[in-house]
Chain A
Amino acid sequence: MASLFQLLLLNQKRSLCTKVSTSKWKVKQVTTSNFNESLEEIKTHISSSDFIAISMEKTGSSSTTPWHRVQPFDTAETAYLKASQSAQRFQLLQFAVCPFSVTDSNNFVAHPYNFLLFPRDELKLGMPAYSFLCQTSQLASMARQGFDFNACIYEGISYLSRAQESVAKIRLGTGSPSLAAMKSSSPPTVADTVFVERIRSRIKHWRNTCKNSGAKTSKDEEIINSIRNIVLGNDQFKSRPCLNIDVCSERQVQLILQMIVDFQDDFLPLVIPTKSGTTQAVRIVLANSREDKELLERELHSIEEEEGKKIRGFREVIDLISASQKPVISHNCINDCTLVHSKFIAPLPSEIDDFVSSLCKSFPKVLDVSYLMKKSGTMKKVANIRNALSYVNTHFFAPVDMEIPDQDTEYKGNVDGLDALRLSYLFTKLCSILKISPIVPEFGDRRLASELEDFTNVFHPCSDDIQESSCNEDVSVWTNNTRKINCEHLVFLWGFKFGMTAGMLKSALRASHDIFSGEFDVRFVDKSCAIVVFWQPGLSRDFINVMNGDGISGGLKELVSDGLRVTCYETYRTMCRLGLWEMDLAESLEKALECSLSDKEINCERKSSEIHWCNDNVINFADL
């Protein structure tokens, strides 16, 4: 067993090695040790490229429980919920970025990078992740492909999402106070006025002494000054005199900041926070002049930037991609985007529209290559980029030249993170097959070819318009399968005898009730649960009514007595929303039913907000 495993590993390595040696597939590997220099490099590459291909490796996917994956019978909403659940639970270990430009219809220039990531709690704030989930099978398969876990965990680059960064800044107190944010909540009381006046006179006094001591310096006065400094709490900040004023509430901070404005503008207030995020004191720095104050502000700003860089870590790269507003190429758009959003932007919102609008703010154009694959006539769903590439290579003749101009691209026998490069290769190839020009005009509004625009920001896994456009010719063969149905006509069924096949279940149902005299189909989702598709509208509702009514009789009664349970698509949706991800779908549906029974009113509220989803309720039966 062991030796077999070793052999397998060796084979894997060898095959990868031969592949690399014959072609010039190489990727710059980036860890903490060379991150800063690589960041500068990639910055120029991103700005000079037309597209950015991304691909990532995470600690698990939901593939072991089939129904946790996005299924054809999922609407955009449930698909999003499934993807976001997986994105939240697992961690990124590797992020491959490949900025590339297509120079000619079959030639592209690429700058592939592979970043090793590890969520290290560098600030001791429990961020970016307190804990994360790993899937053994996923880790084992990564190991088979030669992934270096030691390098990843020892030297992986950490990061914080944008939301986490702002939390961290507050807690670390690096955030600069802004007067605008501090709105005066209540009119000043007597106590406030007393406080302000006391502080004002103290500041005045201190300022005068500062100015005076600058004017003339005798030795005695120096000594007196230094004693005074100790007594008054004076200090030096960046070789400028400053005064620390202890405060005991946020209200006092606000008062001090407001009062400072009244003085001439050579004062710079700095808020010193405590560990828990509240303010401990206000430090007032006295600048020599207005120019000096600006200088100081700039200096503080750059320090803050530097700190921020350290906090953001790998997210710098994401921010660069986002700032460039270049189209992002991904292979499994919904999975990748939910992952990027949850790790680098903010926690995933519960509604898909919120997610899409939030994502589009950062990444205005996301292209999914799997749609291009579909358009090229591949009906088969290709799971990963490598398979997709080999499929395209064997089925189409479309030579593509790849150029990786970087001389310093490090190759250390490590071939991790080729997927982004493969993706850009695949993209160029598919464009050449489909006769789409991926060349982005140098000037103007940098619009993509209209065919490509169609594929941007499609977050529905089996969106229909694309389907239709790709199946024009094949209608005669595929009519039977491309039938689409509104998800209202689906009924989930479980509690039948273990070991039944779809055929057995179908005939059992047909014999059980008149409703099943019409056309219907049965499809198993997992071993415990099946979907019944009623082709005739309204029958699904009738069936559920019959099941819930008292008048069950005959064969159906027999089935129900054996434990048959039924629910509509709405329950499935509720289940996804509530995040009831049990191993068996039947178990989850059962729980969802329990919940929906107990709070009907919540359901009602939700209904109204979901009406606009009806368009997406159409499902492609071909993939069922």
Chain B
Amino acid sequence: MKPRKLHSSILSRALSRALSSSTATTTSPQCGSAFPLKTVTVANFEPSLTELRHHVRSSDFVAIDLEMTGVTSSPWRDSFEFDRSDVRYLKVRDSASRFAVVQFGVCPFRWDHSIQSFVAYPYNFFVFPRQELAGFGPCNEFLCQTTSMDFLARYQFDFNACIHEGISYLSREQEREAIRSLNSTHDSEWSDISKLNDVRDAPSVNMADILFTARMKDKFSEWRDGLLQEQNQSGQIQGTRKDSKQQFQEMFFKTHPALKLDGFTSRQLKLIQLVVKKHFKDLSYFNVNNEVSGSQQIVVYTDSEDELNLLLKEVKEENHRAKEAKIQSAVGFRHVIDLLSSEQKLIVGHNCFLDIAHVYSKFIGPLPGTPEEFVASVNKCFPHIADTKILMNTNFMLQERMKKSKKSLAAAFTMFCPQIAGGSKSTELVSPSHVKVNVEVDDSRSSSWNPGGKHEAGYDAFMTGCIFAQLCNDLGVDFKLHESSKQLAFNEKLRKYINHLYLSWMHGDIIDLNTGDKVANSTPSYNLKRRYPKIMFENIVIIWGFPSNIKAGEVRECISKAFGLTAIVSVYHLDATAVFVQFSKTELVSDFLLLKESLERSNGPISVLHPLAKLLEGGNTCAANYDTYKEICGSPLSETLFADQANKVSMKWKTKLIENKISLSSEEHESSCLHDNANDVALNLVEKIKPNKIDQLRNDQSRGQASPSEIEESCVAEANL
């Protein structure tokens, strides 16, 4: 990839885009053998939508794929083994609400009986969250992850096309809100049309204003008198009088004679409003919003009060309609989502939980707080979703085939659909077990193209769809017998895979969209993958803010010294500033928090020489149980380091700990004197720590690893106790 060459091609592309709005479809202009793909931007959105509507209606299933500006907002928001499913969901929610979707691939697949193959219609939509309605619409800010941007750049993603010509959207909720606010102003909209908005705010004390007002008064009365004369001497045309300045243009507004005002400042318009209102009963000022001509200021002559009211009503409705149309056009790309939702087609994605979360948060509404609510609402919008990753992994036979290759989409594509991925020209040679797929773009069909298409959402959606078709075939779904009127989703052989999504791929949590239940993953390979002992979330303490040179091993060492070697099951780094510590027993969690709290409160030699002192050095070490971790993950803030995030979320962490302690201790029915004074706490500690300490010493000796200094240290500690 030579940068210079790249640059010139970008430049020419950018130029061609900027200069010609007529390039409706950029269907791989350079060479005919590249993958055919319909690229959709603002310029050709309307016709493409109509076309797509037709294709989706006649399709058997629709594959989708999204390109986002990033996946994780900070390193600690990555998915970990230690994520409970609700925490995992919170992380997905964070990702979906922060990052933007820049490309949306939609690819309807239709089984064509006549040629015994699938026909795919890949669409590649450029999406950009532009604010087209003032005050409404997508959030003005989005996050970019540098590595993701780099990834997109590597595949020559056209950022200019995206930002210049990406299609904007309104979510359903945003649209509702826009309409609501439109309706609420509807009643008070007199202001827009004829009411003088706070005329008192602009008192005409200025000499210039007074002169201008007088001149306007003359102008209007002259015009009105002219009209009246005309009426009296009917038939006589009087077209000679034309204002030299062209500021007034005579016209007819809904069969009423009117003057169109042009080239006035807002202040002057305000004064004109005032004049009209004050001096002319039969004239009225209108501010008309029209779909064709935009906003217009006119002064209209009406014969009677009734006529005026009628006209007012008419204008009001027209303005309303214009605004409604504006909202409709601002809905933009969401029309595609509405189409998929209303057609109730089977949606196919590849590892698509995050994709679905993005679709929901961008086009439906803000993501709900729990996975259960989310799943229920998604199911309402998209009743049938299939994930190719589930199909690949829950089926043992397919599992075997995938075992050796990588798990990426492109790898799966070459694995399952070698004849399509290889772009072999002679489709006849393909074995019958392979599903044939033709691609149709702008009514021209092709079945062969150069392999290795660009990494674009449209192409990815196409690959996903091909894999799905092939997997269905492998599962024994016979498309030849399949009637297109019947939903593929209800097929007996597929049914058990539909609406199952990986909540967390790493964890193997599968969520059922129909019920919201988590489905146990029984695949053999998954069990082999598990590297960590079973995770008991209630046994976990999260510690952050400790001195930066302490590593997981040392944390384990410190805590083992205080609680015994068997106390800790595992220590896991969340990032450089935080660790998870899983204890062997649930009680140890509260014991640890209590001990830490009391050590921090007493400044005596115990706290200095205590094995935990190393961990607490610096006085910024915080600890909390797993629920606090969940709370921190659910926070809308995003700091790069976990410790910073945690401190921002629980700014009063000290009180937080005390709360924790009280609730925990009350659970355990410990004597309340424990909190009363430090001495008692210390005494309690001695009892608690002693056996452990001896235990630990013995252990150390038996293993023959304790260094002399270490033993010395612990002895001193004991002596002091």
Interfacial residues, chain A to chain B (CB-CB below 8 A): 1-3, 5-6, 9-10, 13, 31-33, 59-60, 64, 91, 118-121, 126, 128-137, 139-140, 142-143, 146, 148-155, 189, 191, 276, 412-413, 578-579, 595, 598-599
Contact = CB atoms under 8 A, between A and B. Distances in A.
Contact of A2 (B11, B15, B42, B652): B42
Nearest to A155: B3
Contacts of B75: 126, 130
Nearest to B575: A126
A234 B160 CA distance: 55
A9 B4 contact: no
B158 A150 contact: yes
B14 A130 contact: no
Interface residues of B, number: 58
Nearest to A128: B146
A150 B140 contact: no
Interface string B89-124: 000000000001000000000000000000000000
A217 B132 CA distance: 83
Contacts of B4: 33
Interface string B66-91: 00011011110000000000000000
B583 interface: no
Interface stretch (B147-155, B377-385, B466-474, B517-525): B147-155
Contacts of A119: 146
Interface centre among B73, B141, B165 (most CB of A within 10 A): B141
5 interchain residue pairs of minimum CB distance = A149-B159, A6-B21, A2-B42, A131-B145, A150-B10
B321 to A, nearest CB: 17
Nearest to A119: B146
A121 B159 contact: no
Contacts of B14: 148, 150
B6 A154 contact: yes
Which of B15, B72, B132, B651 lies at the interface centre, i.e. has the most chain A CB atoms within 10 A of its CB? B651
B146 A120 contact: yes
Given A1-B329, A129-B146, A133-B141, A149 B160 contact: yes
A227 to B, nearest CB: 35
Contacts of B140: 64, 135-137
Contacts of B270: none
A143 B156 CA distance: 18
A136 B129 contact: yes
B19 A10 contact: yes
A567 B707 CA distance: 60
Contacts of B132: 1
Contact of B130 (A129, A136, A578): A136
A134 B128 CA distance: 12
Given A13-B18, A136-B141, A412 B42 contact: no
Interface in B384-433: none
B553 to A, nearest CB: 11
B7 interface: yes
Contacts of A3: 21, 43
B42 A1 contact: yes
B141 A151 contact: no
B720 to A, nearest CB: 21
Given A33-B4, A148-B14, A121 B147 contact: yes
A64 B138 CA distance: 13
Contacts of B152: 153
Contacts of A142: 163
Contacts of B142: 133-134, 136
B10 A5 contact: no
A10 B74 contact: no
B144 A121 contact: no
A154 B144 CA distance: 15
A131 B146 contact: yes
B164 interface: yes
Given A6-B43, A32-B3, A598-B655, A132 B143 contact: yes
A64 B131 CA distance: 12
21 contacts: A1-B329, A31-B3, A32-B3, A33-B7, A119-B146, A130-B145, A130-B640, A131-B74, A131-B143, A133-B142, A134-B141, A139-B163, A140-B130, A143-B163, A143-B164, A149-B162, A153-B149, A153-B152, A154-B7, A155-B3, A155-B7
B648 interface: yes
Contacts of A121: 146-147, 150
A133 B638 CA distance: 11
Given A129-B146, A595-B652, 14 more contacts: A3-B43, A33-B4, A121-B147, A126-B640, A128-B146, A130-B75, A133-B143, A137-B140, A140-B130, A143-B160, A148-B11, A155-B6, A191-B707, A579-B648
Contacts of A1: 42, 132, 329
Nearest to A127: B146
B3 A33 contact: yes
B10 A131 contact: no
A158 to B, nearest CB: 9
Contacts of A10: 18-19
A130 B160 CA distance: 23
Contacts of B652: 595, 598-599
A143 to B, nearest CB: 5
Contacts of B19: 10
B394 to A, nearest CB: 33
Residue of A64, A135, A154, A155 ringed by the most chain B CB atoms within 10 A: A154
A578 B637 CA distance: 13
Nearest to A250: B549
A464 B52 CA distance: 63
Contact of A136 (B73, B138, B145, B648): B138
Contact of B144 (A31, A134, A150): A134
Contacts of B147: 121
Contacts of A151: 7, 10-11
Given A136-B130, A143-B160, A131 B18 contact: no
A470 B73 CA distance: 47
Nearest to B152: A153
Residue among A1, A31, A130, A152 with max Cβ neighbours from chain B (10 Å):
A130
Residue of A31, A129, A131, A146 ringed by the most chain B CB atoms within 10 A: A131
A77 B160 CA distance: 39
B648 to A, nearest CB: 7
A132 B144 contact: yes
A149 B11 CA distance: 11
A228 to B, nearest CB: 33
Nearest to A578: B651
Interface string B525-554: 000000000000000000000000001000
A481 to B, nearest CB: 19
Given A13-B18, A121-B150, A136-B142, A131 B73 contact: yes
B42 A5 contact: yes
A191 B15 CA distance: 72
B131 A136 contact: yes
A174 to B, nearest CB: 20
Nearest to B654: A599
B159 A153 contact: yes
Interface in B30-64: 42-43, 45
Given A2-B21, A140-B130, A149-B160, A154 B10 contact: yes
Contacts of B150: 120-121, 153
Interface string B432-449: 000000000000000000
A130 B163 contact: no
B326 to A, nearest CB: 9
A87 to B, nearest CB: 15
A391 to B, nearest CB: 19
A130 B74 contact: yes
